[in-house]
Chain A
Amino acid sequence: MRRRLADFLPLLVIWLPLLINVAHVVGFTAWTTWLSFTSSDLLPEYDWAGLRSYNAVLRSENTVVAYINLVLYGVGFVGLTTLAGFVLAVLIDQRIRAENLLRTIYLYPLAVSFVVTGTAWSWLFNPAQGIQKFVRSLGWADFRFDWIIDRDLAIWTIVIAAVWHGTGFAMALFLAGLRSIDPDLHKAAQIDGAGPARYYLRIAAPTIWPVAISVLVILLQFAIKTFDLVRAMTGGGPGIATTLPAVVVYDFMFQRAQLGRGSAAAVLLLLSLVAVLLPYYLYAHWRARRERAAHG
């Protein structure tokens, strides 16, 4: 009896949470997908409306603006965060004093929620209250920094706030990668006469390339999911200039109570996530196979 329980327990521990997770994630994903093909409005309906919701969502100006913004924001946020994270990691890697303190300071923004980040930065960016007013009060009377009210530049204020938030995270991963490089490699490079710039660009960077890929993918899925930052910082404005796909989903689903259209927008969001993650999965798969081939 005891024997059988011991056999059974691991299965229970593994399968029960797995089943619950699958039921949650797959179940609700399937439900949402189903609703996206129905004429659901205030309450779910289970009829067949074909692609009607998708047509409506894709024709709406908000969706178009949201996906253009996603590209700008995605490239800006992921690119700048990766770059800044790498530079910080390299600087901290110099065995400097107070490393722990600095690392904590850089990581600290990650502990702040997006809502707080967004609210604080919305004050900083507001020309009547924040940076612009401060610089002007120092005596530079025509200083201008009003991106948040400029509909063409407002999306970059979101990028800046998000970069501030995410850089510490990228730095931590890069630093772990740098520290995992064999110290002998560093010494060998130094003996061969490679300066620090050469070492980091030609030796360290290629070695920690897989870390960079992970950072990119994690940041990119962060970018696609971004919702609260925009909501707290600009409310999607000026106009609809800083709206993002996740904001559009919320808007259809809960503001307008159009479950069908909201679901369609959510499925489109899921597809854009898949479009990012699938290449990564294929790349990982390809790498694993190549390594097996090399060892075999």
Chain B
Amino acid sequence: MPVRRRHLLAGATALAAVPHAWAQAKPRVTFISQWSSGSDGAAITGLGKRLEEEGGIWQHSPVPGFTTEMMNKLRADIIAGNPPAASQLKGPEIAVWSKIAPTVNLDPLVAAAGYEKLIPSELIGLHKPQGHWIALPMQVYRTTTLFMSRPAMKKVGADKAPKTWAEFNELATAMKAAGITPVANGGIRWDDGMKLEIALSGINCEAYRAALMKLDPKALKSAEMLEAFAQLRKFANWMDPAIAAQHYSVNLAKFLKGEMGMLMMGGWAQGVIKNLGGNLDDVLITSVPQNEGKPVFVLNADSMIFWQRKEADLTAGQQLLAKLMMQKDVQEKYSQTTGSIPVRTDVDLSGPAWSDGQREASAVLNEAFKSKRVLLSLAHNMAQTNPITAAMIDVLTEYVHNDKVTPEQGVARLAAAVDTARG
């Protein structure tokens, strides 16, 4: 079935391409993403400018709002046989979507850049789903970053970040006793879902890989999983209960003042704090606790997939864009704009354009890359396809907000949800 549709689509694309085929025009890229404003918008605009400097034409049609709205537009374009030259798409969805329309084989370009040796192998798998490179990552974030409010630490006499969950729990208890809300959190689904991946990655790296990335039924019911749910219950009891369906940034002011103690969030929160006019000196940025005592990096990456087009200007544009995206200087510029870290592990972040938070995350990524302790984020759609992720997050958000569910029940419900979503 998919094969037939694929041929149909390819045929439609070829037909649409005929009038343009003779044109010897400048390399051109048509692109769809949700990045229309803020630092994401600025970064992608910067990439477009770079493409234009190299003699290309950049045609970006942003679909602002949720990622799903962008995906609905992309789906409509694909069904109409007119996909963009490239579009935003991330994680396992790259593999899913590559089955509904033909994509561009980027293997020669990737090989020429020697790129595979430079980036974590978890990312390689996601971007060459059927053995060929069809997509490229643009930037990397760590989802397991611990932001600590220095004023709050001062109030309880803490001078360093907790290294294990036991230390974390001790500190949180002390903060609670001092009238501080220990966990600064948001009330949105993915925020709740993230908290489990944070707990589990800090308990055991391989248990995370087996349970959340491979969905191994035994690992989903393992002792580590139970421990992670118990830790999640502790987080839930330390959260600000008043935050209903609101973004975590609502609490940042209180966090900076020291009324809230610790924020477990992706590295992007650093940019958000800065944009709010917060002083990063009030914040200690580090990794969340790790019981194994070895660095682990839970990764979230934004990527771009390249859709097959027959027009000469578009194919030339795709080649040019792909080449640029793998370059060091382009990645540096991009990450400096958004506050992320580059995909390449050979970028030097010692310059003044980088922040301490970025340097720390990059150092951890490098170590985790060498020791094979890079994990993919569940809550940010890196570990599983959207339907499975959504079913798992349903369970997690329900667990966070319903303290009548025991950790044992939480583990069982998560495993059951995975079964249902796959079935």
Q: Min CB distance, A122 to chain B, in Å?
A: 7
Q: Min CB distance, B330 to chain A, in Å?
A: 31
The answer to whether B398 and A240 touch across the interface, beta carbons within 8 angstroms, is yes
The answer to whether B242 and A237 touch across the interface, beta carbons within 8 angstroms, is no
B276 at the interface (CB under 8 A from A): no
Within 8 A of B (CB), among A57-104: 59-62
- A45 CB contacts on chain B under 8 angstroms: 1
Across the interface, A149 reaches (CB within 8 A) one of B97, B241, B387, B390, namely B241
Within 8 A of A (CB), among B1-39: 1, 5
A220 at the interface (CB under 8 A from B): no
B258 at the interface (CB under 8 A from A): no
The answer to whether B387 and A238 touch across the interface, beta carbons within 8 angstroms, is no
A56 at the interface (CB under 8 A from B): yes
Across the interface, B401 reaches (CB within 8 A) one of A56, A146, A241, namely A241
Within 8 A of A (CB), among B225-272: 240-246
- B387 CB contacts on chain A under 8 angstroms: 256-258
A177 at the interface (CB under 8 A from B): no
The answer to whether A255 and B245 touch across the interface, beta carbons within 8 angstroms, is no
The answer to whether B394 and A237 touch across the interface, beta carbons within 8 angstroms, is no
Complex Cα distance A128/B401, Å?
A: 17
Complex Cα distance A38/B5, Å?
A: 16
Q: Min CB distance, B401 to chain A, in Å?
A: 4
Within 8 A of A (CB), among B373-423: 386-387, 390-391, 394-395, 397-402, 413, 417, 420, 423
The answer to whether A56 and B423 touch across the interface, beta carbons within 8 angstroms, is yes
The answer to whether A255 and B242 touch across the interface, beta carbons within 8 angstroms, is no
Task: Give the size range of A's interface with the partner.
Answer: 20 to 34
Complex Cα distance A273/B254, Å?
A: 46
Across the interface, B390 reaches (CB within 8 A) one of A128, A237, A241, A251, namely A251
Complex Cα distance A206/B241, Å?
A: 48
Q: A43-B100, A56-B423, A257-B387 are contacts. A234–B400 as well, Cβ < 8 Å?
A: no
Please report whether the interface of chain B is mostly helix, strand, loop or mixed according to DSSP. helix
Across the interface, A42 reaches (CB within 8 A) one of B96, B243, B394, B413, namely B96
Q: A43-B79, A43-B100, A254-B72 are contacts. A235–B245 as well, Cβ < 8 Å?
A: yes
Within 8 A of B (CB), among A249-296: 251, 254-258
- B240 CB contacts on chain A under 8 angstroms: 128
The answer to whether B244 and A122 touch across the interface, beta carbons within 8 angstroms, is yes
A 227-250 binary contact with B (CB < 8 Å = 1; else 0): 000000111011111000000000
The answer to whether B68 and A255 touch across the interface, beta carbons within 8 angstroms, is yes
Chain A minimum-CB-distance residue to B1: A45
Chain A minimum-CB-distance residue to B246: A126
B328 at the interface (CB under 8 A from A): no
The answer to whether A239 and B401 touch across the interface, beta carbons within 8 angstroms, is yes
The answer to whether A151 and B401 touch across the interface, beta carbons within 8 angstroms, is yes
- A238 CB contacts on chain B under 8 angstroms: 187, 244, 401-402
- A122 CB contacts on chain B under 8 angstroms: 244-245
Chain B minimum-CB-distance residue to A234: B245
Pick the most buried of A56, A62, A122, A128: most chain B CB atoms within 10 A of its CB. A128
A224 at the interface (CB under 8 A from B): no
Q: Min CB distance, A243 to chain B, in Å?
A: 9
Across the interface, A128 reaches (CB within 8 A) one of B71, B79, B242, B400, namely B242
Chain B minimum-CB-distance residue to A235: B245
- B402 CB contacts on chain A under 8 angstroms: 151, 238-239, 241
Complex Cα distance A66/B74, Å?
A: 30
A155 at the interface (CB under 8 A from B): no
Pick the most buried of B100, B402, B413, B417: most chain A CB atoms within 10 A of its CB. B402
- A241 CB contacts on chain B under 8 angstroms: 398, 401-402
Q: A43-B79, A56-B420 are contacts. A61–B394 as well, Cβ < 8 Å?
A: yes
Complex Cα distance A258/B71, Å?
A: 13
Within 8 A of A (CB), among B170-198: 187-189
Complex Cα distance A197/B391, Å?
A: 54
The answer to whether A255 and B390 touch across the interface, beta carbons within 8 angstroms, is yes
The answer to whether B75 and A42 touch across the interface, beta carbons within 8 angstroms, is yes
Within 8 A of B (CB), among A122-165: 122, 125-128, 146, 148-149, 151
Q: A151-B402, A251-B390 are contacts. A60–B241 as well, Cβ < 8 Å?
A: no
Q: Min CB distance, B12 to chain A, in Å?
A: 14
The answer to whether B68 and A254 touch across the interface, beta carbons within 8 angstroms, is yes
- A42 CB contacts on chain B under 8 angstroms: 75, 96-97, 100
Pick the most buried of B243, B387, B423: most chain A CB atoms within 10 A of its CB. B387
- B417 CB contacts on chain A under 8 angstroms: 61
- B5 CB contacts on chain A under 8 angstroms: 43
- A149 CB contacts on chain B under 8 angstroms: 241-244
Q: A43-B100, A233-B245, A239-B398 are in contact. List 4 more A-B contacts (CB 8 A).
A: A47-B1, A60-B394, A128-B243, A254-B72
Q: Could you jot down 24 A-B contacts, CB within 8 Å? A: A42-B96, A43-B75, A61-B395, A61-B413, A61-B417, A122-B244, A122-B245, A128-B240, A149-B242, A235-B245, A237-B244, A237-B245, A237-B397, A238-B244, A238-B401, A239-B398, A239-B399, A239-B401, A241-B402, A255-B386, A255-B390, A256-B391, A257-B75, A257-B386
Which residues of A pack against B, CB within 8 Å?
Answer: 42-43, 45, 47, 56, 59-62, 122, 125-128, 146, 148-149, 151, 233-235, 237-241, 251, 254-258
